[in-house]
Chains A and B, each alone.
Chain A
Amino acid sequence: MAAGGGGSYDPLAPAGVPCAFSPDSQAYFALASSDGQLRVWETANNRLHQEYVPSAHLSGTCTCLAWAPARLQAKESHQRKKRKSEVTGTKDQADLLALGTAVGSILLYSTVRGELHSKLTSGGHENRVNCIQWHQDNDCLYSCSDDKYIVEWSTQTCKVKCKWKGDNSSVSSLCISPDGKMLLSAGRTIKLWVLETKEVYRHFTGHATPVSSLRFTTIRPNESQPSDGITGLYFLSGAVHDRLLNVWQVRSENKEKSAVMSFTVTDEPVYVDLTLSENKEEPVKLAVVCRDGQVHLFEHILNGHCKKPLTSNCTIQIATPGKGKKVTPKPIPILAASFCLDKMSLLLVYGNWFQPTIERVALNSKDTHICLERDISNCWAPTVETAITKVKTPVMNSEAKVLVPGIPGHHAPIKLPPAQPKEAENKRKLGSTEATIEERLGAMDLDRKGRKDDLQTNSFAVLLTQGLESNDFEILNKVLQTKNVNLIKRTVLRIPLRVVIPLLQELTKRLQGHPNSAALMIQWLKCVLTIHASYLSTLPDLVEQLGTLYQLMESRVKTFQKLSNLHGKLILLVTQVTASEKSKKMTSPGQKAKLVYEEESSEEESDDEVPEKDSDDNWDEDEDKDSEKDEGVDEDNEEEDEDMEDKEENEEDREVSSEKELNGDSDLDPENESEEE
C-alpha cells in the first residue's frame, strides 16, 4: 500500500492533505504537508505558529491528524485563596495533536510545548493509519488502519486498550457518536459499533469506494419519544471519487440499509465541516470542500427521506484578480473550510499548502455563487521577520490621495447658504454662463478683428486672453512668468472682463503648485483682484467659482490672520481710492458692452458701480469690527513684520469673503447682471 505522500500513487487514496482546525475556537489550523512536515497556523492573524518534522517523516508520512479535545491549561493549585481578581488564563487550550502515519504508528504532538509528547506503537497497527478519532469525554483514542483493525488506545498509559477486526478490507474512516457510546466505522460497509461490548449494532451499505469522511449531523434524535441516544440520529458520509455525500439514519429496526438522502457536489469532497443541529427546527449547515477547490454550502433540515440528491445552496470560489485582457483570473483552490462558533461565518483556507491564507468570510449574502477575488502573489515569499517581530506593515503607496490645507477636499466646499433647490438653480445658471463664454469667444474674435489697431501696445494681454481661451500651456507660461510688476498691472488692466474668472482659476491651479511659481502668481492675483474687484463683486456665482482660491488663501495666511486681514482691507481701500482718482484723470481703455440693457430708471455705468462699491466697503468694515470685538485679545501677540505675500494674499481673501456675502445679499437681481454681460 502506498504511503500518502510517497512516490507511488494510490488511486483510492483520498485527495487532499491531512489538515484540521483546533476544536472550539478554531485558533489553530494544523496541516501535515506531503513533505512530512507538520505546520500549525494561527487562524486569527494568518501566521505560521510552529513547524515540526517527525524523525521518520520520510518513511512514515503523516496520513491523518486529529486535535485532542481542548484540555485545561492550568491545574488547580492546592491552596487557592479567595481573591478579588482571579486569573482567567485557565481557559481551554488546544494542545495535543494525534498524527497517524503510513507505517502504522501514531504520534501525539504537544503544540504548547512544541515537542513530541508520546508515540503509540506497541500492539497497534501494522499498516497505514487511515483515521484517528479522540473520544470527547474520556482519554480514549480510536484509530483505524489498512490492516483491517480498529484500535482503542488509552492516552493516559499510551497502551492499547482493545483491538478488534473492523472489516474484511481496510477500515478507512471513523466517527464517535454524540453521546460517546457508539462508534461508526467505514470499510467495505459502514458499521455502527457499541463501544462497551465492541459489537456491531447496525450495518449500512456505504459507498463503492473508500469512505473518506464520516460525521454525525444531529445531536439529539428528532423523534419525541425517549430514545437510547442513538436511534434516529443522522450521519453523513463522503467517499473517494464520489460526487455524492450520503446521509444515513440510524433506525430502530435493522432493515433499512440504504441512504436516506444525498448531497451532490462538483468533485470529490476533501474536507467536510458542518454545524450540528441541536433541535428539530434548526437546519444543518454543511460546508464541503471539493477537490476542484470550490466550497459548497448546504443548509437543510434533516427530516426523513429525499430521493433526489440536493444541490448546494451556495458555492464559493476564489480567483486571482485579472488585469484587463492580459492577465486572466486564475482560480485559487480552497483547501479547507470550517464554520465559526457563531455559525454565521466561515473560515476559509486557500492558496497553496505551504503558505495557505486563512480568512474569515461572513455568510450573509443570499447569492448562490460567490466568487472572491484575492491576490495571493505576495504570499509566496514567507516573511520570517513578521513571524518574530509580529509587526504588520500596511501598504502605503503613491496611489493614496494626499490632502493638504488649501487643496480642494481638505475643507468643505463652499456652498451658498440656501439648500439644495437653490443650488440646482445655481448649477443651471452655471451652465448658462459657460454657454455664454462660448458666445463670448465668438464675440472675442469679432472684437479683435474690429479693433486690431488698438491692441498694438498690449500684446501680453492678447496673449493671455488667447492662452486662457485655448488653454495653451506654453503661452500661459510665457505670460504668467513675468516678474515685471508694471507689466502685470498693465496687462491685467487691459484684459477683457470675460477672461478674469478663467484667469483666476488658472492662477489658483498654479498657486497649488510649487512655492516658487506661487510667489509669481501672487503678483498676478493681487493685480487681478485690485483692478477687477468691482467686476468680481457683481458676479452671482463667484463664491462657487473662487471657493477653492479662498480656502487656499485662508490656509496659507493662517499665521497672522487678523493682522493680514486688516492689512488687506486697507490696501484694497487705498488702491480703490487712488484708482478712482486716476480714472477720473484718464479714460480707461474702451470696453464697449456688447449689449446694453436699459431699464427705465437706468443710470450711467459708472454711477452704477460706485454705490455697489460703497456697500461692499461698508459691509467690510462692519464685519471687521465684529471680528475684532470677538477676538481682539489674540491680536496682541501678532508681529508687524509680515512679508509681502501675506499682504497680498490677504486682501484677496477678504475680497472674496466680502463678495460672498455680497452675493448673498444681492441675490435678488442676478439676472440683470448676467444679462448686462
Chain B
Amino acid sequence: MVEEGVRVVRCGGSRLNFRRAVFSVDSKYIFCVSGDFVKVYSTTTEECVHILHGHTDLVSGILVNPSNHLQLYSCSFDGTIKLWDYVDGILIKTFTIGPKLHAFFIPLHAEDSVFLTISKEEPDIFQLVSVKLPKSTSQDVEARQLTFVLDYINRSPKCIAFGNEGEYVAAVRDFYLSVYFFKKKKTCNFTLPSTKNKKNAKNKFTCVACHPKEDCIASGHMDGKIRLWRNFHSDQKYTYTCLHWHHDMVMDLAFTVTGTSLLSGGRECVLVEWRDGSEKNKEFLPRLGSSIEHISVSPAGDLFCTSHSDNKITVIHRNLDASAVIQGLVKDRSISTGLMVDPRTKALVLNGKPGHLQFYSLQGDKQLYNLDIIQQEYINDEGLTQTELTKAAFGCSGTWLATVEQRQENENELELQMKLWNYSKKTQGFVLNTKIAMPHDDHITALCFNNAESYEKPILVTASRDGHFKVWILTDDSDIYKKAIAWTCDFVGSYHKYQATNCCFSEDGSLLAVSFEEIVTIWDSQTWELKCTFCQRAGKIRHLCFGRLTCSKYLLGTTDNGILCCWNLLSCSIQWSAKLNVRVMEPDPYSDHVAAVAQSSAGSDLFVFKPSEPRPLYIQKNVSREEVQWGVFVPRDVPESFTSETHQWLNRSQFYFLTKSQSLLTFSTKSPEEKLTPTSKQLLAEESLPTTPFSFILGKHRQQQGAKLTETSENELVQLPLTENIPAITELLHTPAHVLPSASFLCSLFVNSLLLSKETKSAEEVPDDVDMEGNKESDDSDEEYDLTEKDKETNNNTDLGEDAIHQLSKSEEKELRKFRKVDYSWLTAL
C-alpha cells in the first residue's frame, strides 16, 4: 500500500446560518453557505445533494442566476464571484473582482450587473457598488470595473434591499434609511424622529425588506418594532405605520412572493406572519428552538425557511408547518463538555442546543439527535442566566451517562446538579437513575468513569474546586416496593485543601489519579488509600492521563506553564519531561499512542508519541491557525493497516479536533484524488421519467423505435448497440458543454470514433447509431429548452459553434418529420 502524507481535512461543522439560505426555483433544493463551500440540500429529504467547493475564503453570499434558474452565483471574501451549475455541482465561471466581497445582490431586471458590498480603505465603512459581469467564453473572467452606488452602508446584506423590480435600493444604517432611485439617480434620506429622544435610543434599524410589487419598505428595529414606509419618493411626504409584536430586536424580515404578507423573526424563536400589513392580522409559528437569524422565501411561494443561531435551517410550509430541519453541528455557545464518543452508536457527543447533548454522526456529517438533559423550557432572552450543561461522561460501554449542569447567577449562588442516566435496553433510551443536588460545593472540574471491564460495578469520580473528589458507586437501592439500583457516595478524598482539577482511572481501573493544582495524587481504587503523590512544582496540572496497553505503567501530565511530564508508576519517579505548551492531550483508547496539540505563536501543532519514549512518532506542524480546544480519538469501524511509524497511530482510531471557531477537523491519509474517482467511473444513472403528456409524445416515438429493434430478434439473445462503450461518445455526452473544445474540432473526432470502434459492424447499423446519438442530443437540448430558453441560445452560439448547430438542426428536422407522423388522435379524445 502506498502511503500518502497525512493531511488535515475539514469534516464538517461550518456555519450554515452565516447568510440567508436560497431556494431553487422549483423549491426542490435549498442552498446555503457553509464556510468556504456552498451546500445544496434537498428540501424534502434534508440530505446534502452537492457541495460546491472552489472558494478559498468564506462564502458571503449566494443567489440564483435570474437569467438561468439552473445556475447559482456565489461571492466570497476571496474577492471572486463564481457561477455554478448546481444540478451537477460543477463550477462554470469565475469572475475576479478584487476586494473582499461582503454581500451581493442581483435585482430582477438589471442587465448583467450585480451589486456588491465592499469595504473602503478605512475599516468598517462599506459601500455599495455595481459591477458588470462581462460575457465571455473563458472560465476565468476579470471584472474590476466598479461603479459607485451608495456610501456608508451596513455590511450585513440584511440592511440592503432592492424594491419594485429594481427601481430603487433601500439601505439602513443606525438611525437612517436611505433610498436610492436608479432612474432619477436621486437619494432620499429618512431619519427616525425619535433619535433625539434618549428614551427611544433603541430605535436603530436592524434590517430592511422591500415589497415585491408596491412601493413599500419594511424595516426592523432594535426595540422590536417593524415600520412600513410608504410614499418615500419625496423627503417630506413619507409616511410609515408601525407593527409591534417582538419584544426584542427584529433579526430579519421578508415579504412573501406576492407581497401579501410579511414575515419577521427575532430572538423569541417565533416566526410571525403579518397579513396585509396590519397589526391585527398575524399568525405565529412558535418554539422554533433558537433565535431566528435569517428568513427567506422560495420563488414559488410554497416554502419559507428560517436560519437559526444554533446552526440550523428550518424549512416551513406556506401554512406555517415546519416540514424539514437541516441541522449542522450546533455551535451556539461554548463547548464545555468537550468531545466524547458514545460507545454504543460511535457518534460524537458534545454540547448541543441549550441544555441538550448533541449526538453527531461523523460518517454522515449530520446530527443524529439532541438529548434533552436539563428538560426545562428554554427561554431565550438577554440577561437571563441559563442552566448550562457543563460536564458529561459515558461509562461502561455506554450503559451509563453522567451529566453535570450548573447555573450561577452570581458569585455565591451556585446551583449544581448531577444526573446519572441508565441506558435502558428495553426501551432503547436513557432513563434517569439518580439525581444528585449539589454533589459538590463548588464547580465540578472533572468527571470520569472507571471503564475497566474487570470491575463488575461501575465507579464514577467527580473532582471539584471545593477541594474534594468524590467516589460514587452503584449500590442496591431495593425496598419493599421495588427493586432498584442507585448511585451513592462511597468516598470523599482531599489533599491539603487544594482544588481538585483532574481525575482519571488507569486502564485496568486499579489506580485513580487526581490532580490537586500542582500535585498529582495516586489512589488505590479498592481501598481508597493514598498511594503516592507526584509534585513537579511546575505549574498547575492541566491534563492528566494514564498510558494504555504496553505503556500502562506511565502517567502523563501537562501543566499550564508548558511542561509535559511522564511519570513511571513503578519507580514513582519522573521518566521524562518536555517543554511543550499542550492545549489538548488525548490517549487513544485502542492503542498506546497519545496525541497532544500544542499551541505556538504560529498556530497549533500536533505531536503523537508513546509515553514510553520521549521521542514523538509523528509531528504535524500548524494543523490549524486557531487554537485547538478539544480533541478525541474515534475508533474506526474497520481498522487500517499502515505499517510506517508515522501512520501507525491512525490504524485503530481517527483523531478529530475542534478549533476555537468550532470547525471540526480530522486527519486523513487518502489523497484527494483517491477520494474522488474520476467522473467516467461514476455511476450516473440517466433520469428518464415518462410523466407529462408532452413526454408521452416523445416516449411513443422512442418505444416504436425500441419495438422495431426487439422485433428483429424475437426471444433470442439481443445485443443492443453499446454506444456508451465508445469513450468519445461518453466523453462528449457527459462533459459539460462549457469545458468542451470547439465543436469543429470535436466533430471529426466524434465521427471517426464511431466508424473505427466497430469495424465489423455492418453498414446498416452505423447510421442507426448516429441517429440515436442525434436523437439523444436533441432530447437533451429539448430539456434545456424547456427550462431555459435564453441560456440555450447563448450556449449554442458561443460554445458549440456553427457546425454543431448545423448538426443539431439536421437532427431536429428529422425529429420534426417524425412528429408529423405521430398520431395525435388521442388528444382529441381527451
Enumerate chain A interface residues (CB-CB to B < 8 A): 25, 27, 42, 44-47, 49-50, 68-69, 71-81, 83-91, 93, 96, 108, 111-119, 121-123, 138-139, 154-165, 198, 321, 340-342, 357, 359-360, 372-375, 378, 386, 388-397, 399-405, 408-413, 419-420, 558, 630
Q: Are A77 and B54 in contact (CB under 8 A)?
A: yes
Complex Cα gap A45–B628 (Å): 29
Complex Cα gap A86–B676 (Å): 12
Those 7 A-B pairs whose CB atoms lie nearest each other, nearest first:
A409-B488, A394-B430, A114-B44, A114-B45, A401-B486, A155-B685, A341-B637
Q: Are B682 and A88 in contact (CB under 8 A)?
A: no
Residues on B with beta carbons closer than 8 Å to the beta carbon of A74: 50-51, 53, 89, 676
Q: Are A45 and B369 in contact (CB under 8 A)?
A: yes
Complex Cα gap A164–B12 (Å): 48
Q: Which of B482, B492, B686 contacts A156 (CB 8 A)?
A: B686
Residues on B with beta carbons closer than 8 Å to the beta carbon of A386: 369
Q: Are A69 and B722 in contact (CB under 8 A)?
A: no
The interface bits of chain B over 99-131 (1 if a CB of A lies within 8 angstroms of the residue's CB, else 0) are: 000000000000000000000000000000000
Q: Are B486 and A88 in contact (CB under 8 A)?
A: no
Residues on B with beta carbons closer than 8 Å to the beta carbon of A399: 482, 484
Given A87-B9, A375-B426, A401-B434, the answer on whether A396 and B527 have CB atoms closer than 8 Å is no
The interface bits of chain B over 682-696 (1 if a CB of A lies within 8 angstroms of the residue's CB, else 0) are: 111111111000000
Complex Cα gap A584–B499 (Å): 51
Q: Are A400 and B56 in contact (CB under 8 A)?
A: no
Q: Are B431 and A397 in contact (CB under 8 A)?
A: yes
Enumerate chain B interface residues (CB-CB to A < 8 A): 7-12, 28, 37, 42, 44-45, 47-54, 56, 88-91, 94, 139, 289, 322-325, 327, 344-345, 347, 353, 356, 359, 361, 363-365, 367-373, 375, 421, 424-439, 441, 470-471, 477, 482, 484, 486-492, 497, 527, 637-638, 665-666, 668, 672, 675-679, 682-690, 702-703, 706, 710, 715, 717-720, 722, 724, 739
Q: Which of A71, A154, A342, A394 contacts B638 (CB 8 A)?
A: A342
Q: Are A391 and B53 in contact (CB under 8 A)?
A: no
Q: Can you list 26 A-B contacts with CB-CB less than 8 angstroms, sorted by A residue number?
A: A42-B368, A45-B368, A75-B50, A75-B676, A76-B679, A77-B91, A80-B672, A83-B56, A85-B9, A88-B666, A139-B683, A154-B724, A158-B686, A159-B706, A342-B638, A374-B425, A378-B427, A389-B325, A392-B370, A395-B424, A399-B482, A399-B484, A402-B435, A409-B486, A410-B488, A558-B441
Q: Are A88 and B11 in contact (CB under 8 A)?
A: yes
Complex Cα gap A673–B720 (Å): 108
Q: Are A50 and B426 in contact (CB under 8 A)?
A: no
Complex Cα gap A479–B608 (Å): 71
Q: Are A88 and B54 in contact (CB under 8 A)?
A: no
Nearest A-chain residue to B666, judged by Cβ: A88
Given A76-B678, A79-B91, the answer on whether A410 and B489 have CB atoms closer than 8 Å is yes
What's the nearest-Cβ distance from chain A to residue B311, in Å?
13
What's the nearest-Cβ distance from chain A to residue B287, in Å?
9
Complex Cα gap A388–B326 (Å): 9
Nearest B-chain residue to A140, judged by Cβ: B683
What's the nearest-Cβ distance from chain B to residue A132, in Å?
13
What's the nearest-Cβ distance from chain A to residue B8, in Å?
5
What's the nearest-Cβ distance from chain B to residue A148, in Å?
10
What's the nearest-Cβ distance from chain A to residue B316, in Å?
10
Q: Are B677 and A72 in contact (CB under 8 A)?
A: yes
Residues on B with beta carbons closer than 8 Å to the beta carbon of A393: 371-372, 375
Q: Are A198 and B717 in contact (CB under 8 A)?
A: yes
Complex Cα gap A91–B51 (Å): 11
Residues on B with beta carbons closer than 8 Å to the beta carbon of A85: 8-10, 665
Max count, chain A CB within 10 A of own CB: residue among B49, B325, B344: B49
Given A90-B676, A402-B437, A409-B489, the answer on whether A394 and B53 have CB atoms closer than 8 Å is no
Residues on A with beta carbons closer than 8 Å to the beta carbon of B487: 401, 403, 409
Q: Are B345 and A44 in contact (CB under 8 A)?
A: yes
Q: Which of A49, A159, A400 contacts B434 (CB 8 A)?
A: A400
Complex Cα gap A340–B477 (Å): 37
Complex Cα gap A117–B54 (Å): 28
Q: Are B327 and A159 in contact (CB under 8 A)?
A: no
Residues on B with beta carbons closer than 8 Å to the beta carbon of A81: 54, 56
Complex Cα gap A227–B527 (Å): 64
Residues on B with beta carbons closer than 8 Å to the beta carbon of A96: 685
What's the nearest-Cβ distance from chain B to residue A400, in Å?
4
Residues on A with beta carbons closer than 8 Å to the beta carbon of B433: 400-401
Q: Are B370 and A86 in contact (CB under 8 A)?
A: no
What's the nearest-Cβ distance from chain B to residue A115, in Å?
7
Nearest A-chain residue to B637, judged by Cβ: A341
Q: Are A342 and B428 in contact (CB under 8 A)?
A: no
Q: Are A391 and B375 in contact (CB under 8 A)?
A: no
Residues on A with beta carbons closer than 8 Å to the beta carbon of B9: 85-88
Residues on A with beta carbons closer than 8 Å to the beta carbon of B28: 113, 115
Q: Are B372 and A394 in contact (CB under 8 A)?
A: yes
Q: Are B488 and A391 in contact (CB under 8 A)?
A: no
Q: Are B686 and A155 in contact (CB under 8 A)?
A: yes
Residues on B with beta carbons closer than 8 Å to the beta carbon of A161: 719-720, 722
Nearest A-chain residue to B40, judged by Cβ: A74
Q: Are B718 and A163 in contact (CB under 8 A)?
A: yes
Q: Are B685 and A390 in contact (CB under 8 A)?
A: no
Given A77-B90, A85-B10, A88-B666, the answer on whether A394 and B484 have CB atoms closer than 8 Å is no
What's the nearest-Cβ distance from chain A to residue B505, in Å?
18
Residues on B with beta carbons closer than 8 Å to the beta carbon of A88: 9-12, 365, 666, 668, 675
Q: Are B425 and A341 in contact (CB under 8 A)?
A: no
Residues on B with beta carbons closer than 8 Å to the beta carbon of A115: 28, 44
What's the nearest-Cβ distance from chain A to residue B41, in Å?
10
Q: Which of A71, A400, A558 contacts B683 (CB 8 A)?
A: A71
Q: Are A394 and B434 in contact (CB under 8 A)?
A: no
Complex Cα gap A154–B429 (Å): 45
Residues on A with beta carbons closer than 8 Å to the beta carbon of B471: 412
Residues on B with beta carbons closer than 8 Å to the beta carbon of A400: 431-435
Residues on A with beta carbons closer than 8 Å to the beta carbon of B689: 116-119
Q: Are B718 and A90 in contact (CB under 8 A)?
A: no
What's the nearest-Cβ distance from chain B to residue A623, in Å?
15
What's the nearest-Cβ distance from chain A to residue B750, in Å?
18
Q: Which of B44, B49, B679, B715 contacts A50 (CB 8 A)?
A: B44
Q: Are B679 and A75 in contact (CB under 8 A)?
A: yes
Residues on B with beta carbons closer than 8 Å to the beta carbon of A342: 637-638
What's the nearest-Cβ distance from chain B to residue A85, in Å?
4
Nearest A-chain residue to B37, judged by Cβ: A87
20 additional contacts (CB under 8 A) given A89-B11, A93-B47, A156-B686? A44-B361, A74-B51, A85-B9, A85-B665, A86-B9, A86-B53, A87-B9, A88-B666, A90-B51, A90-B675, A114-B42, A118-B685, A118-B686, A118-B689, A139-B724, A342-B638, A391-B356, A395-B432, A404-B436, A419-B527
What's the nearest-Cβ distance from chain A to residue B746, in Å?
18
Residues on B with beta carbons closer than 8 Å to the beta carbon of A87: 9-10, 37, 51, 53
Residues on B with beta carbons closer than 8 Å to the beta carbon of A73: 48-51
Complex Cα gap A396–B367 (Å): 23
Complex Cα gap A341–B363 (Å): 13
What's the nearest-Cβ distance from chain A to residue B765, in Å?
16
Complex Cα gap A139–B682 (Å): 9
Complex Cα gap A90–B490 (Å): 50
Complex Cα gap A88–B663 (Å): 13
Q: Are A392 and B427 in contact (CB under 8 A)?
A: no
Complex Cα gap A368–B427 (Å): 24
Complex Cα gap A46–B44 (Å): 19
Nearest B-chain residue to A158, judged by Cβ: B688
Complex Cα gap A90–B720 (Å): 34
Q: Are A395 and B327 in contact (CB under 8 A)?
A: no
Residues on A with beta carbons closer than 8 Å to the beta carbon of B686: 118, 155-158
What's the nearest-Cβ distance from chain B to residue A655, in Å?
21
Q: Are B89 and A403 in contact (CB under 8 A)?
A: no
Complex Cα gap A298–B441 (Å): 55
Residues on A with beta carbons closer than 8 Å to the beta carbon of B428: 46, 357, 359, 374
What's the nearest-Cβ distance from chain A to residue B338, in Å?
20
Given A74-B50, A411-B489, the answer on whether A113 and B45 have CB atoms closer than 8 Å is yes
